[in-house]
Amino acid sequence: MRNEHISSKSAQRLPTPAGPLVLTSKVLEDARTFFEDRGTFGLEGTAMIKGRADFDLVVPRQNARRDAYGQVNVEVPRVGQIDLALALGPDDLYVARIHSHPGDAFHSPADDANPVISFEGGFSIVVPFFGLGLRRGLDACAVFLFHDAVWVELKPGPVRDRWIVAEASR
């Protein structure tokens, strides 16, 4: 299991992308709505973002748990992996995974080890506060880029903006 961390120093050694991935307001709103809804049950949610210029949120069947101490986790079982595969048309691709945390946004060891979308250039977005953080936009989220076989955190700011931004709202 991989859980080395992945400082912002390594972010400075990243190559320069041709241009940022521009996530649409709609896909981020869809994600926020889904996560907040799960949050009303005290549960995390997880989803994928597919597309190239226009994006769709794909929500697979998932098992979210909350124990008596309020510890939560969510996983995508085999049927959910099939949901994800079937949602992808011939010209589609997944560009990011996005999931919510009950509190702060970070990559847990399980998040690092999760093989989903762990390919060069894939993004992982973690939304704090059961999705409510997205009301403050992508800057309130933790964002990671898979590069050289590790997840590199892109802190909010110019380096992140070269890779991924939210569409300017109107």
Taking the least distance from each CB to Zn ion, the nearer of 20 and 74 is 74
Selected binder of Zn ion within 30, 111, 112, 153 (CB under 5 A): 111
The contacts of residue 23 (CB under 8 Å, 6+ apart) are 49, 55, 96, 138, 164, 165, 166, 167
Taking the least distance from each CB to Zn ion, the nearer of 100 and 160 is 100
Residue 56 has phi, psi (to 5 degrees) of -125, 145
Interface characters, 45-74, with Zn ion (x: CB under 5 A): ------------------------------
Stretch that binds Zn ion, among 47-55, 82-90, 108-116, 162-170 (CB under 5 A): 108-116
Strand partners, 145: 123, 152
Stretch that binds Zn ion, among 12-20, 101-109, 117-125, 145-153 (CB under 5 A): 101-109
Residue 132 CA to residue 157 CA, distance in Å, equals 21
Q: Is 36 in the site for Zn ion (CB under 5 A)?
A: no
List interacting residues with Zn ion (CB under 5 A): 108, 111
